[in-house]
Each structure stands twice: as C-alpha cells, then as structure tokens.
Structure 1
Amino acid sequence: MKGKMLFAAALLSASSTVHAAPPEPLFAADQPLALEIRGAIQKMMRGDRDRSDSVPGTVTVKSTGESLPVTLGLRGITRMRKETCQFPPLRVSFTNPAPTSVFARQGRLKLVTHCRNAQDFQQHVLLEYAAYRLYNLLTPVSFRARLATIDYVDDAGKPITSRVGFFIEDDGSAARRNGLRKARVGQRVPTRQIDPAAAARMVLFEYMIGNLDWALQAGPAGEPCCHNGRLVQPAVAGQGLIPMPYDFDYSGLVDAPYAVPPEGFTEASVRERRYRGYCIHNDAVLAAAGDFRARRGAFLAELNAVPGLDRRRAAKASAYLEEFFALIATDQSVRARVINRCLKV
C-alpha cells in the first residue's frame, strides 16, 4: 500500500502541470509523413564524419509541396561510425518555419535513419520507433516520435535512397507540453533528487525492452546527466526530477545487428535482461509493475499497429515482451525475480 501511495503521489506531481502547451504540429498527429530531404548528404558521409560538419539542404513535404531550408548535420556515437552505419543519424535544423507548416516552431530535430541499406534495417528503425510509442503509453512526460518515409536526394538532384525514419521531439518541447521545464544539472545527479515513481517507471521500462545502454545518475564525460536520457522538473521547487529516456537501438526489443552489451556488463547479448533499478525505489517499482501489467494489452496492440512492421518481427517482439510480463506477473514475482537484484545508492 505504501508503494502504491508513493506511486500515486508522484504521478500527481508529474501530471499536475501548469502552463502546459499543446503538442507542436509535427508531434500532434501519428500518420507517417512523406518527405524529400535534399543536400550534399553523401559528400558529408564520405568525409571524416565529424559532428561539427554540416551542409545546407531542404526538406519538402510531399503532401503540400512545402519546401523548407534546413541545415543537415551528422549525430550519434556508434551509429555515426562508418564501420557501423552506411547512413548515420542526422540532425535537421530549421529556420523559422511558417506557422502553418507541419514543422512550425521546430528548431533542431534528431532524425533516426536506417543505418544500412539492407531491408532488414528498416525493421530495426520501426522497432525503435515502437519503443518510443510504448513509453508514451506510460506517461505524457516522454519524447514523442513522428514516422516518415523519406526520399534522400543529393544536391545535384540524384536520388540516393528512399527509407523509413523518424523525428524525435526536442526535450524543451516535451517539457513545455507537460508544463515542466528542462532541469539544469551537472554530469551527476544524486539519486534521491529523482522522482521515485518516474525513476521506477523508467528503469522498469528499460528492463522490459532489454536496454542496458543508459544511466539514471550520470551523463557522458563533459555532458549533463543523463546518458540516453534528459531530466525535466516541475515549476514548483522541491519536487523531484523526471527522467525521459531515448535511444533504444541497443535494446533487446530492437535487436540491431551491431548492438552488444555495453562495456562492463557480462550479458552475452542485448536480448538478456538485467535489472538496474535502485533499492530505494523498490516500493515505487512494485506499484509501477501493476501499471505495466494493466497496460499489457495496450503495449502489444501498439507494437502490432506500427506501420510497416512485418508480422515476423512483430511476433518476435511481442514474444520478447511476454517474457517480461511473465517476470512481473505478481508482486511476489517482481520481488523474487526483479527487484531483489536492485542496486544500492
């Protein structure tokens, strides 16, 4: 009962927002976009793949014919390496799109791309997109994603490829949509400053999808907390920080060919789950597990509704989620098979 009360109170603090804003047009709808992205993309990729490199380009919305000037840049760490991805993730920077544009009020956006030209990599993109959708079911305090079919064209007008990808909502936009603000933090954050229910929700979700490539307390050297996550906070002082996770390509759910457990982990593959929650959040995790169980049907339905995800991949991903639900079937099994492996602060 104590855990459920903590969970409910923290949910109230996370959802009792002030000055919340409606979602921006790009993330207010779910139907996939049809786009053309034009620029010296291949030239940029054949170079040293420096994240500081950028080229001018255009994004054209096929349904309206609207063409927007943008700056295209490379991003990522592992996926930016030539030996990993033929086509690394992009950063697309807009300059004051018109208020009527689907890209209205967008600045710099992350675009998740297909990594390699083989058709299988389309399925990995769709499974990572599905992970964002699954987390959206748990809380509005999460990154929204918008799927798109994109024709990539070089600056001379020659087609490069046509592949699926998706844009990820900016953290500032996600915060404003929930009446929250981006947290100003250093590289490390004390665990006790993080909202218990929000922490429980995130770690249990990462456990569900089999992801080890994240950190709740710290960011990479020289960067703010947290690794593969961003922190937001309520406007009211004294309320806990809320983590919003992203980058799920190293998860067992996605099972990308290049994905391996991070350094320091003994798991043989990313399909092996490992619980990484903190013991101080155990009560909140028990309460969160009940919420996950209640959403089992919604999770599976959402996964199977992803446009373009083939039946074989959807079935494999559904079976992987079902393994998780077997582990959290009761509070007793959560205690015995999950949180007994919790980490001490």
Structure 2
Amino acid sequence: MNETIRIFAIEIRKQAIRPDNHLFSTAMKNRIFLPSQIIVILILLLVSHSRSTVAQSSVRDASNASFGLFENEDPLEIVLQYDLTTYLRRKPKEEYIKGKITFHPGSADSITRDIRLRTRGVFRHTQCYYAPLELNFRNTGFGYSDLDSIRKIKMVPQCNPGRESEKYVLIEYLIYKMFSTLTDTSFKVRLLTVKYIDSENRQKPFTQFGFFIEPVKMLAARTNSMEIESRALTQKTVYPHMIDRIAIFNYMIGNFDWAVPNQHNIKTFKPRVFESEYLVTAVPYDFDFTGLVDASYAIPDDKITGTTSIRDRIFLGVCRSREVYQQALVEFLEKKDEFYGLINEFPYLDAKQKKKMIYYLDTFYEQCTGKQRIVSVFLNSCKNF
C-alpha cells in the first residue's frame, strides 16, 4: 500500500510540472498551489490505509481473545433458531437439525453463526417436553479462542413449560456451582436466557432459562488430564479424597442416582501427571434427580433404593474409618456459609424456594453436629466395593 501511494504521488507531480498540462494551466490561472492538493490526497489515502489496517488487526485480535463463556457469572443471552416442531415431536438423537445461534455478550453486541443440534439424555429425553440438547459448533468460527475450541457442548433447558420446571433448572445450576466451591475438578456451568425461534414459523417464539455445561475436553485440558471410560472402574480406583467428597456431596443434596462403574452420572479422568498409576479422578454431573431439586418427576424405584421419596438421603460411598469420614466432613462445614450464600444471593429464585432449599441443607448440617451422628450413618450404609 505504501509503495502504491509513492508511485501515485510521483506520477501526479510529473503531470503537475508540465507547462502544457491542463492541471498546471488551471492552477496558474486560479493561483492554486497544486502540491497542497497532492498532500491532501496523500493524507486521505494514508488515513484510509490506516483504518483498513486497524480493522484487519481487530479481526486478528478477536480470534485470539476469549469470550469468557465460563468465566462470567451473569446470565448469557442467546437466541436459538431451528425447526422446533421436529425437535419437539421427533426429538432426533442421531441426526442433526440445522439451526442458528446468536450470542448477546452485551446490549448492543451480537454474534450469529450457523450450527447443528440434536437431542441427548436418557430419562429427560423421554420424560421432558424439552429434551436436553447437544449443540455442534464444529467449523463455526466465532472468532473467540474458547468458543472456537468447542466442538460440541451440552445445553440443559427446562424440562417442561411453566414456572415449576423453571425452578428445577435453576436449582440444578446452583448445585453445579456448589460443587465447584469445593474443587476445581468440577464442571463449570453458565446460566442462559434462551430465546427459541421456530425457523419454520409454525410456533411462537418463547424465552426460558437454561445453562451450558463445560465440555469434557475443555475440563480435561483445564485439569491436565484425559477422559477414560471403563466398566472395571470402581470407587476404590478413584483418588480417596475425591470419591469421599463426591459421596458426601451427593448425600448432602439427596442424590443416589450415580455410580462409578459404567460411569453413571460420573466422568472419570486420568491425570497426565499422576501420583498413582492406578487411580483416577472423578467429576459428578446431572443433578435433577435429587432431593434438593425435588422435581415432581423424580420418583425413585423403591425396589432398588428402598425408598419412594426423593427427599430421603442414602449414602453410597465406599467404607472408610470413622476418622477418615470426620476429616472429609471438615470442608463441608467450612463451606456451609458459602453454600447458603449462593442460594440466598441468587436473584432468580423466590424467597419461598430459597427457604425450602436452606431447610433441606439444614437437615444435613444438623446431622453433622459433633460429626458422630452422620459418621454413624455413613458406617451403617457404606459399600465395600
């Protein structure tokens, strides 16, 4: 570009100094100092070049910047546009539906890209009106490093229409946040307000809460590990302090819908730098079937669990000594105020629901008084895998 400007300036000057040139004669008649015109033209060209360079630089910078998908606590506004009728009636689990996603990182900003999506899940796939979603971002090119690193991402919508189902998805989101206060080896989540638009114009647009779950590969990269799947894994093959934390946390929230074998609502990882050749890390997920959420559809099989109430608690951890359990409970006692703060300061649940959640957690902490009562519960129901 600079070479073009130089050649252009030389050529204009050559033309200007020729006495027979019309530009020269006109300038002389009107007493116009022609070199000043040249300077103005050059300045305009340089400004144009500068703006172009800045614009190209901005694009390059954006590609290296992070969108901060899981670093921001504020709800992210997104728009999903796809064939809602096909999604609701057929719930395609194998084939993808073409769609568009729009991110609204700010009131005046938006990013729209073509994506593909399909349904996922097991229980909620059949029981929920709005089945859980998997969004495929492959080859999308958002221009942000974290978004462009994502090939597939899970989205949890509310299960059914109505405020009751909205409450369930918000509480489940909070449970993920609660576990993350205990350890970084956990799934990050991002709360969403999702506007759904039917690409076929057969249904009216509607807006609901939902949340993104950090992709497994992103968690593995963040924790310098790799996912492994094996039927041979048991609680005894997980680092003891990790599986004890998971077992007590699931007991606290009233979750007995998990197991390490077959990795049922548990993901397992092998650290790339490991202390033991035989032990793995584990991360729980999928918390809608818990006493803390208390979803109307969450009815336990009493033949398996021995109860028909999701509000009951069942300890499914591996057997330890009384001293090990007492030590494992320390971080739960230390995090009590933080757990309660997450609930009380959350602006999207009403006071009645918060009170119900706090009451349920209170019943756990009442058992922890002196630690003896709850440790006895653990010892009476623990498993020798």
Give the alignment's TM-score, normalised by structure 2.
Answer: 0.77
Alignment correspondent of 2:114 = 69
For the structure 1 residues 307 and 58, does the alpha-carbon distance in structure 2 shift closer, same or farther, using more than 3 Å as the test? farther
Q: How far apart in 1 are the matches of 2:157 and 2:292? A: 17
State the one-letter code of the partner of 2:254.
Answer: G
Separation of aligned partners in 2, 1:329 and 1:180: 37
Change (3 A) 1:283 1:197: farther
- Judged with a 3 Å threshold, the aligned counterparts in structure 2 of structure 1 residues 281 and 46 are, in CA distance, closer, same or farther, namely farther
Summarize the alignment of residues 1-345 of structure 1 with structure 2, pairs less than 5 Å apart: 25-47=68-90, 49-62=91-104, 63=106, 64-81=109-126, 84-96=127-139, 97-100=141-144, 103-157=147-201, 159-182=204-227, 184-216=228-260, 218-219=261-262, 226-237=263-274, 238=276, 240-262=279-301, 264-280=304-320, 283-345=323-385
- Take 2:258 and 2:234, find their aligned partners in 1: how far apart are those partners? 16
The alpha carbon displacement at 1:99 in A equals 3.5
The structure with the largest alpha-carbon Rg is: 2
More helix by share: 2
Partner of 1:5: none
Contact conserved, 1:71 with 1:93, CA < 8 A, in 2?
yes
Amino acid at match of 1:90: L
Give the number of the structure with larger relative contact order, counting CA–CA contacts within 8 Å between residues 6 or more apart.
1
Point out the more displaced range, 280-289 or 53-62.
Answer: 280-289
The 1:144–1:23 alpha-carbon spacing in structure 2 relative to 1, beyond 3 Å, is farther
Question: 1:101 Cα deviation (Å)?
Answer: 7.0
Q: In 1, Cα distance between the equivalents of 2:167 and 2:323?
A: 36
Q: 1:80 Cα deviation (Å)?
A: 1.1
| Partner Cα separation in structure 1 for residue 287 and residue 338 of structure 2 | 20
Deviation per CA, 1:297-327: give whole Å up to 9, x if none.
0000012233411111111011101111111
Deviation string 1:193-216 (CA, Å, 9 cap, x unpaired) is 210000000000000000111102
Q: Is the 8 A contact 2:265 2:284 kept in 1?
A: yes
SS in 1 for 2:305: coil
Structure 1: tracts of 5 or more residues without a match: 1-21, 220-225
Aligned position for 1:12:
none
Matched residue SS, 1:27: coil
CA distance in 2, matches of 1:281, 1:78: 36
> Closer, same or farther in 2 for the Cα pair 1:37/1:92, shift >3 Å?
same
Root-mean-square deviation (CA, aligned residues, Å) is 2.0
**What TM-score do you get using the length of structure 1 for normalisation?**
0.85
Instruction: Name the SS for the 1:264 alignment partner.
Output: helix
1:145 and 1:166 in contact (8 A); partners too: yes
Cα deviation code 1:46-81 (max 9, x no counterpart): 12x341132011110133220021111001111111
C-alpha distance in 2 between matches for 1:270 and 1:23? 40
2:35 counterpart residue number = none
Offset of residue 100 of structure 1: 2.8
User: How many pairs align?
Assistant: 313
Contact 2:113–2:142 (CA<8 Å) still a contact in 1? no
Does the 8 A contact of 2:82 with 2:199 survive in 1? yes
User: How many Å apart are 1:120 and its aligned residue?
Assistant: 1.2
| Matching residue's letter, 1:89 | P
Unaligned residue ranges in structure 2 (runs of 5+): 1-64
Tell me if structure 1 keeps the 8 A contact 2:236–2:318: no
1:246 alignment partner AA: Y
Cα distance 1:181–1:283, how it changes in 2: closer, same or farther (>3 A)? farther
